[in-house]
Structure 1
Amino acid sequence: MIIRLVIISFFLCTTCLKSQVVEDNAGVTHVVVAKSGSTSFLYTSELDGAISAHDIKGKRLWRMTLEPKAVLFEINAADINNDGIDELISASANGNIYCHDVDGELLWEFKPKHKVRFSEVAVIKNEKVQIFAGGNDNKLYELDAKGNLVSVTKIKGVVRKIESGKFLDAKKESLFIMTYSHDKFRWDYFGFMDPLSKKTIKSLSIKKVPDANMTRAMVTDITIADIDHDQKDEILLFGDLNFKSYIMVLNSNFEILMQYQGTKKETQRYAHSQGTYIENQELIMFQHGGISKTLDIKGKVLGQSGERYGAMVYNDFAVDANTNQLVAAGTVDGGDDLHFFDLNKQDWITTRYEEGGRMLEVEKNIQKLYEQTLNFKLPEYQSSSKKEWVMITAKQPNDKVLKLNGAPIKIITQKAPKESTERSELELIMGPIALKKDKRGNYKDSREDIIQMAKEFEANGHPFTFWAGHGNDPFYIRIETLEKILEVAPNTCYGFIYAEMDNVEDPRVIHFVNDYMPRLAKAIRKHNRAKLYFRNKNMFWAATSHLPLWKELFFSDRYNDILVPASEDTSNRIQDLNLAGRIGMYACGYINDFAMRLVDDNPTSWRPLSPGGQNSISPFLRQGVVMAAYGARYGIIFNNPFVEEPNYDVLFALMTSGVLPVVEKENIQSIGSWHLIKNIDEHLVHSVDSHHNLLQYQEDDDEAIFSVAQMHWAGTNIPDYDFSKMLGVNYRWLNYMPTLPYGMIPIAPVEYQPDLKKKDFPYIVTDGKNGYKNDQSIIASKFGQIMKEAAGKGVENLAVIVSGVSWSVIKIDEYHSRVVLVDPGYINPKKRIATIQFQNRYPKSVKDILSGEELIHKDNSFSVDVPAGSMRFIDISY
């Protein structure tokens, strides 16, 4: 039965309004206006594949989840069967294109014969209906109105955008297509295609752009509209240019009709830039982080609201001409609201909404957690930690946090000087590559300047670290300078940070490992305080670290006392693997410490399509807690300016109170089985490490233990035989907090096998692509069952098993364990039900240590709610 929708006038006041709450959603990411006759309604989508319909006031009519779960990249509303009502067309990274009717009934779905990550879909309506979809496999798919495959056209690049519009003919639609070869910039194709012949009508070479900014901006949104009244559509590009807002409008001749750049005063790191065109007012509206503006078609700013880092950051916008409203959907930290702006009001852009819905729930949960933590008293069976938490951050804990007596915390300043010393001796060793420097750095500091800085820190008793190298240049600071820093600041130098150094074929990296490391180790051990922090992304700690050069560094036991691995998770799809790799290094004793890395660009996975600008501390807090609950005593924490108070004080309070104890490796009680790496597959490693390169598609990318991990697969679902499934991960996106259905399964080198046999731990052996049994190689699809059997045996040995959330079990003493339960939805938080099961050892009592609630457990299991965006800490007494 077709739902008949009634238009309701919806007028807003210009004061702060209450949110239109959409219950049970989890992170609304897209909204489109649809029509049923002359009546408007809305379709929305959520991050992991749920779709909904709403009336124009925001009331939900229906909701359903698409399976298998994956990122839903785009939705479109179009009447493809000519019944006068728009259907919903969806492009999912799971490889399907879906069509639902107004009542939510699935009309059809299209899935190619090989795995594809779809990211775009567009509808052409000329003499016939044509539906075009594209993704990562260098092909453009044409479907008819019933979802049947009509044609497949080869294209170059990963599809960034497909749009329909009257670009070249006022009476006929054509296709605009943009494909990428780089994860942020550098398109392969930017042009118009004839939908019948599938031939290019006109295209723009990246070498002949009308303005160089087009190749420098990260385009995060594209809108199609006729803004110059010539009956032909233009392309509106919204994006980020060196963290400033950027808008460019191009016509079909690739002429710039308008260009706008925000000022330095409006700069915001990784701000989510979205925009749209309001036709009946001839306004361009855009949001850049916390600032929203309206402009005329010449680029003149007419209205503005918000402030840098100081307002809600919406996920998407749509305009309904019928009711003259702008609809803002969701927020980038997981909001589920729909906000409506009355365009009839002259100052509509100044309308501010109170926080509501899911994010208000999260805010209250975090505040309650914080207050309970500040009032927490250590139980008699838990002693204060003598080890300190070491946080490299500009964020200073408040006095309330510092007064807690569960553990000390040391706040470390990070500086990043770039040494100006000439490099002739390095050039003699490795050639001209030694002279290559990081383009982002200003190499103006002399050796004497840097040493003097260290002396001043020492004199003032101010603990510090220096960022000393990067994959772009491992020699920010030279070895002789580093040795002198350690000499002049023995009490305050906490070490040196190196980022994104993964290329084992780079002569500079080889020189660093072979020459710098022995000298640094010798200098550090004189004072036994400093550490070397390595920030590496992709799957470095699960796979790349097992390449021969890095294996000698990280798994030789030569440097376990000074190495602190951290995960530089910018543009990462596989955080779960990196976490399992670092836990393996720690639990095996190859390192004595590892670090959490919390930074505002963590939410980015495929950067143009994954927003930054989270206002809530919740995602960063929960990520940090999960890492700390598995032994991360160090932190490299960027003081995210978007985040509202109480900010990181919540995390620091959990640490200093003892609610989150300092975890020694022998006290981790939630490790079930192990994953050992033997002869890591180098092709797999290098294809994943080449994270900016999108032109890597292979049809067998999914045939691996660590499958579909390359950048062009961001957002896709993973097969059942992938190792990440053992960690509770469903798709390649923001997996900081895996649900661990088999407990934690750490990753370690195959040399650890004798120790596991002694301890009777089940394990598997793989090279990252294939598995091994009795030294025989087995393809991933057949090895999956072997993985599940080993994981199942591991679970049998655990005393506590948790399902439904991310979790850890920590031994407090012989008779007490602490269970840490965390909402796993990084930017789609919601209340979860955690089921805790006991086996092998049965408790005398179970207690929530923050609320004081005694929990009833029957039949050796019980369930508890874990608040949205938050966590619970439960002590088991034996």
Structure 2
Amino acid sequence: MSLFKSLIVVLVLACFSQNINSQNFSTNGNAIRHIANAKINGTNVLYIGELDGSLSLYDLKGNKFWRVETQSPSVLFEIESADINGDGNDELIAATANGNISCWNYKGEQLWNYSGDHKIRFSEVAVVKNNGETQIFAGGNDYTLYELDTKGQLVSKTKISGVVRKIEAGDFLETGKQSLFLMTYSHDKFRWEFMGILDANSKNVIKQVKYSNKNFKQLSRAMVTDINVADINTDGKDDIMLFSDSSFKPFFAALDGELNVIAQYVGNNKQAQRYAHSQGTFIPSKSEIIFQHGGLMLILDNQGKLKETGGSRYGKMVFSDFTLEPNSNQLIAAGEVDGGNAIYFYDLSKKNWWKTVHKKVGRMLEVENNLSTLYKQTLKFNLPDYQKKSESEWVMITPEDIDPRLDNLGGGKIKFVIQKSPKESTDRSHLVKIMGDVALKKDRRGKYQDSREAIVQMARDYEASGQPFTFWAGHGNDPFYIQIETLEKILEVAPNTCYGFVYAEMHNPKDPRVVHFINDYLPRLAKAIRKNNKAKLYFRYKNMFWAATSHLPLWKDMFFSGEYSDFLVPASEDTSNRIQDLNLAGRVGMFSGGYVNDFAMRLIDDNPTSWRPLSPGGQNSVSPYLRQGVIMAAYGAKYGVVSTSGFVEEPGLNTMFALMKSGVLPIVEKQNILSIGSWHLIKDVDEHLIHSVDNHHNLKLYESDDENAVFSVAQMHWAGTNIPEYDYSKIALGVNYRWTNYMPEMPNGMVPIAPIESAKDLKQTGVGFSISDGKHGFINNEKVDAKTFGPELKKVAKEGAENLPVLIEGASWSAIKLDENHIRVIMVDPGYLDPQERHVVVKFQNRKPKQAIDILSNETLKISDNQLKLKVPAGSMRFIDVSY
């Protein structure tokens, strides 16, 4: 920042009056994740942190003083404001998953940066002040507590157990003397490894509570999503507030410095909201605790007793963060969890302030308007003469309410299918004889109270009424929700309406139940399904199953042998996944490589997650679900296991259904995908890599070698981190960091993942491919490390990109052949939780286009120098037909 601009900042801040209630405003940044109140020249201002690490400074009237964009995007996990250099003004400290702890002054100048001597996923930072001395503590995933001085120099390292969940400074044990609260996790949602108070100087443990402590039984079962510090019982010492989701109900607990529970609130079933975002803070002037749980705003007293309730269950405006501005008596809410960039104010002096209903401003209003335009245009769309209506149908397994206006669209056919989950009570002694008592293991999430006869009768009734249906038939916890004899009978009595069976998370090939399912159930189901000729088996797997785990021997025989290609439908169980891009590329490889005839999109309300406690849920906008569904459909997924929560605003997924039924989104056959540049083949897949990723609940898997892989830093403890330059996701798909990447930008086109057996066909067609085992690469059949392999991977991807008819920068995309002279190019805003308008360049290659038309707006677009420059609206998409 120039000297002149620095002087302007000082002058404006000096003149700003604090005694004013502010108006809501939007920033010119992107998805806000954090906000911190700070004092500059005696004036209260706001430091703002965005999802990808960008930082800014605003005053309470919405004036921006500066904004800096991160040079290495990754998830920003925490910001703190404190006077670090002793100049009387609060600096900004940020902890980011790219391994940096950085310090910025109020002028927007970076004072220092600490990055360590190895790759770390930093997630927490705290500032301790005692007797005029300032200490900075940070932690992440490498089992180390870092201490820095005020210039960012390393002072000490202390070995700790578990991945850091929270570090906070406070006068926990003695007024006027700060110590450290430290909480670490070994499980991705629950079960702290350590929770206690440390002496800031010696780093010795002063107090701690064991996970097994019966007094903390309820807290140990809660997913803690926000932790703050305040003196809530006015004893002059700080307390620790924990805002949680417990079985989807709100749960609050506060601990004093002795780690005694001093306040608690347990919500009820009427307040339950699936994966609701829980945040909160303390208002000293009122001695009240503010607790946002999804769409609810709960007002608690300082003992946790409920005083008032605002908002509504599954309500709107779910905020990312809160801070208190005491001088103007305002509670400030920052950013909607959908990816909003707005700041909202609650005037605490007003009666019933917690019932304030805010009007949307900023990015999420922009997204809402963009999707409204998209829907209106789609409802008016008619197929062009050159687009043939597909004879196939979309199959959407969904409980969504369908807009009757879709009946007027004639460009495609959709079969809407319900899903039910009966659990069979039939005796299992015959299964015990085969595999032992493990056959008796059942899923705790349901009651096994349905008889075989009742389940078959249910199917018979659906057949009689003409109701298409599927049954959820098994899970990794129990593959036998419904037994084989019952499945066969269902297919027999409902030949026209049974659309198949759903299985989830059966990922362990050494589980005797899984082995029995594959060896015994699958051949029998194949025989019964082929009589039906309509039913499918939908397999939902998470982590990097479709990119790597599926290449293990047992799975490879099942999914890549071709024996069951007619009815296996791979879907992705991505509820806690950092590597959705890999699963997408793996499913596209299975489909385009001819190993399966179909694959499925899975859109579900807990999708926007990566490390669950630190990933917000409760998205009001359908935009993330809609955009990922469109990209998967644009690569061949015509089946869907789809559902949105009560949070999502109307018209919900009807926008996607309208795109399908109008023909704007055509059913894509594998031979018509024109955006596959090269392939990546898996040979002798690395089992150690797979098991370290598949074991996703376990956070204690850090290895310094995690970065040295073609599919690198994919384990849960790396959630949010930036990806090395030589990684497949970075080179092939343009992914910058491991968070939620359903919609990779694909700068080299799609690079599908398939088994080494595809090499023969690719050689015959002259299509390039690279080879790895997931960890190492292969060059001339010699195994090399990932860093050495990077240039080879890049070379193959670049060469493949040069052969495509179009190449697109700035959006997630697909190119689909409609006929010999027409291509439909689909471009989607790739920011899953940070939607923004994208400046896109479409580069035409190998064939000169005649014309390009936006098929929804009917705008003819200008092509210059074989390029087309356009904008993709925030949170939305565009459909361009190119004529030759």
TM-score of the two chains, using structure 1 as the length reference: 0.98
For residues 513 and 65 of structure 1, what CA distance do their matches in structure 2 show? 50
For residues 529 and 20 of structure 2, what CA distance do their matches in structure 1 show? 66
What is residue 3 of structure 2 aligned with on the other side? none
Report SS of the residue matched to 1:874: strand
| C-alpha displacement of 1:669 | 0.1
| C-alpha displacement of 1:9 | 4.4
Q: Tell me which stretches of 4 or more aligned residues in structure 1 moved more than 6 Å.
A: none
For residues 679 and 301 of structure 2, what CA distance do their matches in structure 1 show? 60
Report SS of the residue matched to 2:157: strand
Contact 2:21 2:328 in 1 (8 A): no
**Is 1:162 equivalent to 2:167 in the alignment?**
yes
Letter in 1 for 2:217: A
What is residue 855 of structure 2 aligned with on the other side? 849
What is residue 350 of structure 2 aligned with on the other side? 345
What is residue 788 of structure 2 aligned with on the other side? 782
**Is 1:60 equivalent to 2:64 in the alignment?**
yes
Contact 2:565 2:597 in 1 (8 A): yes
**Is 1:70 equivalent to 2:74 in the alignment?**
yes
What is residue 107 of structure 1 aligned with on the other side? 111
| C-alpha displacement of 1:696 | 0.2
For residues 19 and 83 of structure 1, what CA distance do their matches in structure 2 show? 31
What is residue 119 of structure 1 aligned with on the other side? 123
**Is 1:27 equivalent to 2:28 in the alignment?**
no
| C-alpha displacement of 1:301 | 2.3
- Correspondence for 2:257 among 252, 259, 274: 252
Contact 1:333 1:616 in 2 (8 A): yes
What is residue 651 of structure 2 aligned with on the other side? 646
Report SS of the residue matched to 2:194: strand
| C-alpha displacement of 1:299 | 2.2
For residues 838 and 65 of structure 1, what CA distance do their matches in structure 2 show? 31
| C-alpha displacement of 1:346 | 2.8
Show the 5 A alignment for 1:480-491.
480-491=485-496
Deviations 1:329-379 (A, max 9, x none): 000001100011111223221221101110111001000000100111100
**Is 1:593 equivalent to 2:602 in the alignment?**
no
Q: Percent identity?
A: 60
Letter in 2 for 1:426: L
- State which drifts further: 796-805 or 207-216: 207-216
| C-alpha displacement of 1:402 | 2.3
**Is 1:241 equivalent to 2:250 in the alignment?**
no
Contact 1:396 1:411 in 2 (8 A): no
**Is 1:694 equivalent to 2:699 in the alignment?**
yes
| C-alpha displacement of 1:303 | 2.5
Report SS of the residue matched to 1:153: strand
Change (3 A) 1:839 1:10: farther
- State which drifts further: 303-312 or 824-833: 303-312
Contact 1:19 1:355 in 2 (8 A): no
What is residue 858 of structure 1 aligned with on the other side? 864
What is residue 821 of structure 1 aligned with on the other side? 827
For residues 12 and 647 of structure 1, what CA distance do their matches in structure 2 show? 35
| C-alpha displacement of 1:705 | 0.1
Contact 1:8 1:57 in 2 (8 A): no
What is residue 93 of structure 1 aligned with on the other side? 97
What is residue 46 of structure 2 aligned with on the other side? 42
**Is 1:276 equivalent to 2:281 in the alignment?**
yes
- Correspondence for 1:428 among 430, 433, 438: 433
For residues 302 and 515 of structure 1, what CA distance do their matches in structure 2 show? 58
For residues 301 and 122 of structure 1, what CA distance do their matches in structure 2 show? 30
Report SS of the residue matched to 2:432: helix
Letter in 2 for 1:658: G
Report SS of the residue matched to 1:701: helix
What is residue 770 of structure 1 aligned with on the other side? 776
Show the 5 A alignment for 1:82-481.
82-127=86-131, 128-481=133-486
Contact 2:473 2:503 in 1 (8 A): yes
What is residue 525 of structure 1 aligned with on the other side? 530
For residues 547 and 837 of structure 1, what CA distance do their matches in structure 2 show? 39
| C-alpha displacement of 1:255 | 1.6
| C-alpha displacement of 1:58 | 2.8
For residues 775 and 22 of structure 1, what CA distance do their matches in structure 2 show? 52
**Is 1:804 equivalent to 2:813 in the alignment?**
no
| C-alpha displacement of 1:11 | 5.3
Deviations 1:69-89 (A, max 9, x none): 100000000001111000000
- State which drifts further: 856-865 or 671-680: 856-865
Report SS of the residue matched to 1:385: coil
Deviations 1:715-753 (A, max 9, x none): 000000000012010000000100000000000000010
| C-alpha displacement of 1:177 | 0.3
For residues 269 and 337 of structure 1, what CA distance do their matches in structure 2 show? 24
Report SS of the residue matched to 2:589: helix
**Is 1:605 equivalent to 2:614 in the alignment?**
no
Report SS of the residue matched to 1:353: coil
Letter in 2 for 1:532: L
Letter in 1 for 2:854: D
Report SS of the residue matched to 2:651: coil
For residues 201 and 713 of structure 1, what CA distance do their matches in structure 2 show? 30
Unaligned runs of 5+ in 2: 1-5
What is residue 689 of structure 2 aligned with on the other side? 684
What is residue 726 of structure 2 aligned with on the other side? 721
Letter in 2 for 1:753: A
For residues 294 and 10 of structure 1, what CA distance do their matches in structure 2 show? 25
For residues 413 and 402 of structure 2, what CA distance do their matches in structure 1 show? 12
Report SS of the residue matched to 2:108: coil
Report SS of the residue matched to 1:700: helix
Deviations 1:804-823 (A, max 9, x none): 00000000001100000100
- State which drifts further: 436-445 or 174-183: 436-445
What is residue 547 of structure 1 aligned with on the other side? 552
For residues 364 and 19 of structure 2, what CA distance do their matches in structure 1 show? 23
**What is the aligned residue count?**
873
For residues 56 and 259 of structure 2, what CA distance do their matches in structure 1 show? 37
Report SS of the residue matched to 2:397: strand
For residues 36 and 380 of structure 1, what CA distance do their matches in structure 2 show? 64
Report SS of the residue matched to 1:782: helix
Deviations 1:8-46 (A, max 9, x none): 346559xxxx741212x1110100101124311110100
For residues 696 and 276 of structure 1, what CA distance do their matches in structure 2 show? 33
For residues 560 and 194 of structure 1, what CA distance do their matches in structure 2 show? 61
Contact 2:419 2:471 in 1 (8 A): yes
TM-score of the two chains, using structure 2 as the length reference: 0.98
Contact 2:21 2:330 in 1 (8 A): no
Letter in 2 for 1:288: H
Letter in 2 for 1:739: E
Unaligned runs of 5+ in 1: none
Deviations 1:136-191 (A, max 9, x none): 00000000010000000000100000000000111200000000000000000000
| C-alpha displacement of 1:712 | 0.2
Letter in 2 for 1:101: N
Contact 1:7 1:56 in 2 (8 A): no
Change (3 A) 1:410 1:19: farther
Contact 2:145 2:159 in 1 (8 A): yes
| C-alpha displacement of 1:413 | 0.4
Letter in 2 for 1:831: E
For residues 399 and 337 of structure 2, what CA distance do their matches in structure 1 show? 24
For residues 241 and 175 of structure 2, what CA distance do their matches in structure 1 show? 18
Deviations 1:559-589 (A, max 9, x none): 0000000001101000000000000000011
CA-based RMSD:
1.0
Report SS of the residue matched to 2:704: coil
For residues 304 and 232 of structure 2, what CA distance do their matches in structure 1 show? 12
What is residue 752 of structure 2 aligned with on the other side? 746
Deviations 1:787-814 (A, max 9, x none): 0000111011111111100000000001
For residues 261 and 68 of structure 1, what CA distance do their matches in structure 2 show? 41
Deviations 1:289-333 (A, max 9, x none): 001021111223222211111220000000011221111000000
For residues 198 and 62 of structure 2, what CA distance do their matches in structure 1 show? 37
For residues 810 and 773 of structure 1, what CA distance do their matches in structure 2 show? 32
Contact 2:196 2:259 in 1 (8 A): no
